[in-house]
C-alpha cells in the first residue's frame, strides 16, 4: 500500500513523471481509438507504413528550418506520412498491386529515404542534429510541457473530427459500398479517416518512436476486439487500453532503473492484448476451449442417454427396466459413462437404484426421443 501511495504521490507532484504519464496516456487514448477503425478496415499495416514514412518528413523539417521545435518536426512527419498514405491509396486504386504490397513498398522507400537524409544531416549539421534519433525508438522521458500541449491540441482536433463524422466513419468501416449507395463521399471520408490516423501516429513518434508506433495502433484495438462486438464500445475500450498502457509503462519505467519508457509501454499493451486473447469471455482462447470441453462432455452425455433409451425401449415398461453400467459401457464408444450417468441423474433424466442399476426416467424418455428424432432428421 505504501508503494502505491508513493506512486500516486509521484504522479501528482513529480513534474517529469506527471508529464510523461499524461503524454503517454493521451497517445494511448488517441492511437487506440483511431486504431480501432484501422483494424476494422483491415489496415493494420498502415500504421507501420505511416510511422516509418514519417522519418524523412522529420529530417526534412529540421533541414529546412534548422529547429527541433516539436510542432515543426511533427508537422513534417505528418506531411510525409500523409503523402505515403495517399500514395498507397493511389497505387491500390490505379494498379493491380495489392494493399499489403503497396504498404510494404511505401514503408521501405520512405524509411530508407529517411535514413539517408539522417546520415546526411549527421555529416553536415554536427551536434545540431542531436535529438533527431529519438524519433526512431522514442524518448518519452525527455517529454516537456510544450510536447504535452502539442499532443493535446492534435488529439483534441482528431477526437472532435471523429465525433462529428462518427456515423459516416461507422458506415465506411463496415460497408463502403453501402456508404456510396447512400451518396456519401467515400473517397473524401477515406482520406479524412486516413489523415486522422496519420495525425495519431505522428503524435506518438517522440514517445514510442518510428519502429514501435505501429504496435500502439494495432494492439489496443486487437485487445478491445476480444471483449465486444459494438463499434462504440470497441473504440472506447481500445482508447482505455491504450491510455492504461501509457500510464503503466510510464510508471514502470520511472520505478525500475534503466527501463526505457517507449518499449515498456509497448510491452504493457502487448501484455493486455495477450491477456485479452486468453481471457475474453466470448472470443478468448480459454473461453473457446471451455466451450469445446463442455460440448464434448454434453455429446458424451447424449450418447449415454441415447443408449439407455435404446435398452429401455426393448422392455414393455421402459422406466421399470434397470440396466447394469457394464452394458452401457459396452455400447458407448466414449469413456466416462459413469460420469455421464451421474450428470443425467442430476438433471432428473436417469435414476440409480440402491444395487447400482440404472433406469431411465419419464423426463429422460422425452429427452431421449427428441434427441434420437433430431439425429434421425439430420
Q: What is the CATH number of the domain that holds 107?
A: 1.10.3470.10
275 and 296 in a common domain: no
Q: What is the pTM for the complete model shown? A: 0.79
- Residue 96: per-residue pLDDT: 86
pLDDT digit string, tens, across residues 22-37:
888 888 899 999 999 9
329 and 196 in a common domain: no
- What confidence tier does 236 reach under pLDDT thresholds 50, 70, 90? very high
Please say if the pLDDT value at position 11 is more than 60.
Answer: no
- Residue 127: per-residue pLDDT: 47
203 and 56 in a common domain: yes
- Residue 338: per-residue pLDDT: 84
| Closest among 240, 181, 188 to 30, alpha carbons compared | 240
For the chain, the average pLDDT equals 82
306 and 264 in a common domain: no
- Residue 146: per-residue pLDDT: 75
324 and 254 in a common domain: no
Question: Containing domain of residue 66, as a range?
Answer: 2-282
Q: Which residue has the higher pLDDT, 48 or 158?
A: 158
**CA atoms of 50 and 274, how far apart (whole Å):** 25
- Residue 126: per-residue pLDDT: 54
List of residues 6+ apart from 233 with CB closer than 8 A: 224, 227
Q: Which residue has the higher pLDDT, 126 or 207?
A: 207
**CA atoms of 24 and 238, how far apart (whole Å):** 14
145 and 49 in a common domain: yes
CA distances for 334 relative to 5, 95, 291, 304, angstroms: 57, 57, 19, 9
- Residue 375: per-residue pLDDT: 54
CA distances for 376 relative to 38, 64, 260, 297, angstroms: 47, 79, 64, 21
370 and 319 in a common domain: yes
Residue 331, domain CATH: 1.10.10.10
Q: Which residue has the higher pLDDT, 85 or 210?
A: 85
> Is the four-CA dihedral 177, 179, 182, 188 of positive or negative sign?
negative
- 265 neighbors 31 (Cβ within 8 angstroms): no
Q: What percent of the chain has pLDDT over 90?
A: 13
- Mark which of 267, 282, 297 sits at the end of a domain: 282
Give me the residue label for grid cell 499493451: 269
Q: What percent of the chain has pLDDT over 70?
A: 89
- Residue 268: per-residue pLDDT: 93
151 and 23 in a common domain: yes
- Residue 133: per-residue pLDDT: 66
pLDDT digit string, tens, across residues 331-377:
776 667 888 888 888 888 888 888 888 888 888 888 888 877 765 44
CA distances for 187 relative to 28, 179, 238, 296, 364, angstroms: 27, 10, 26, 49, 61
126 and 47 in a common domain: yes
Of 108-117, 308-317, 331-340, the range with the highest mean pLDDT is 108-117
- Residue 333: per-residue pLDDT: 65
| Closest among 166, 197, 254, 161 to 47, alpha carbons compared | 197
- Residue 225: per-residue pLDDT: 92
Please say if the pLDDT value at position 166 is more than 70.
Answer: yes
Please say if the pLDDT value at position 179 is more than 90.
Answer: no
| Closest among 70, 222, 56 to 140, alpha carbons compared | 70
**CA atoms of 331 and 342, how far apart (whole Å):** 17
Please say if the pLDDT value at position 276 is more than 90.
Answer: yes
- 228 neighbors 237 (Cβ within 8 angstroms): yes
**CA atoms of 196 and 81, how far apart (whole Å):** 11
119 and 32 in a common domain: yes
- Mark which of 282, 308, 328 sits at the end of a domain: 282
pLDDT digit string, tens, across residues 77-107:
888 988 988 888 888 888 888 888 888 888 8
Q: What is the mean pLDDT of residues 42-68?
A: 82
364 and 315 in a common domain: yes
- Mark which of 258, 282, 306 sits at the end of a domain: 282
107 and 206 in a common domain: yes
Of 69-73, 178-182, 247-251, 267-271, the range with the highest mean pLDDT is 267-271
Please say if the pLDDT value at position 154 is more than 70.
Answer: yes
Domain count, the chain: 2
Please say if the pLDDT value at position 200 is more than 60.
Answer: yes
- What confidence tier does 237 reach under pLDDT thresholds 50, 70, 90? very high
Amino acid at each position: 500500500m505504501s508503494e502505491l501511495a508513493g506512486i500516486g504521490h509521484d504522479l501528482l507532484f513529480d513534474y517529469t513523471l506527471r508529464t510523461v504519464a499524461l503524454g503517454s496516456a493521451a497517445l494511448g487514448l488517441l492511437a487506440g481509438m483511431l486504431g480501432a477503425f484501422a483494424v476494422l478496415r483491415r489496415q493494420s499495416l498502415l500504421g507501420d507504413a505511416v510511422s516509418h514514412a514519417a522519418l524523412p518528413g522529420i529530417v526534412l523539417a529540421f533541414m529546412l528550418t534548422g529547429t527541433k521545435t516539436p510542432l515543426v518536426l511533427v508537422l513534417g512527419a505528418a506531411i510525409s506520412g500523409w503523402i505515403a498514405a495517399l500514395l498507397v491509396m493511389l497505387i491500390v486504386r490505379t494498379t493491380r498491386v495489392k494493399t499489403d504490397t503497396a504498404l510494404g513498398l511505401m514503408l521501405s522507400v520512405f524509411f530508407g529515404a529517411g535514413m539517408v537524409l539522417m546520415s546526411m544531416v549527421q555529416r553536415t549539421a554536427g551536434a545540431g542534429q542531436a535529438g533527431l534519433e529519438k524519433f526512431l525508438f522514442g524518448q518519452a522521458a525527455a517529454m516537456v510541457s510544450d510536447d504535452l500541449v502539442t499532443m493535446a491540441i492534435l488529439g483534441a482536433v482528431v477526437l472532435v473530427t471523429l465525433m462529428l463524422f462518427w456515423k459516416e466513419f461507422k458506415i465506411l468501416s463496415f460497408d463502403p459500398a453501402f456508404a456510396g449507395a447512400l451518396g456519401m463521399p467515400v473517397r473524401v471520408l477515406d482520406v479524412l479517416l486516413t489523415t486522422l490516423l496519420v495525425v495519431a501516429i505522428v503524435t506518438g513518434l517522440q514517445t514510442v518512436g518510428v519502429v514501435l508506433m505501429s504496435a500502439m495502433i494495432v494492439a489496443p484495438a486487437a485487445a478491445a476486439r476480444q471483449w465486444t462486438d459494438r463499434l462504440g464500445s470497441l473504440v472506447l475500450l481500445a482508447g482505455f487500453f491504450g491510455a492504461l498502457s501509457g500510464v503503466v509503462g510510464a510508471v514502470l519505467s520511472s520505478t525500475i532503473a534503466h527501463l526505457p519508457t517507449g518499449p515498456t509501454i509497448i510491452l504493457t499493451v502487448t501484455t493486455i492484448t495477450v491477456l485479452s486473447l486468453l481471457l475474453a469471455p466470448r472470443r478468448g482462447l480459454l473461453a473457446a476451449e471451455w466451450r469445446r470441453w463442455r460440448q464434448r462432455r454434453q455429446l458424451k452425455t447424449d450418447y449415454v442417454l441415447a443408449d439407455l433409451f435404446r435398452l429401455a425401449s426393448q422392455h414393455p415398461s421402459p422406466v421399470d427396466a434397470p440396466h447394469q453400467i457394464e452394458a452401457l459401457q459396452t455400447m458407448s464408444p466414449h469413456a466416462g459413462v459413469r460420469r455421464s450417468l451421474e450428470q443425467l441423474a442430476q438433471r432428473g433424466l436417469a435414476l440409480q437404484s440402491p444395487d447400482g442399476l440404472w433406469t431411465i426416467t419419464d423426463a429422460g424418455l422425452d429427452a431421449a426421443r427428441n434427441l434420437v428424432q433430431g439425429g434421425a432428421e439430420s
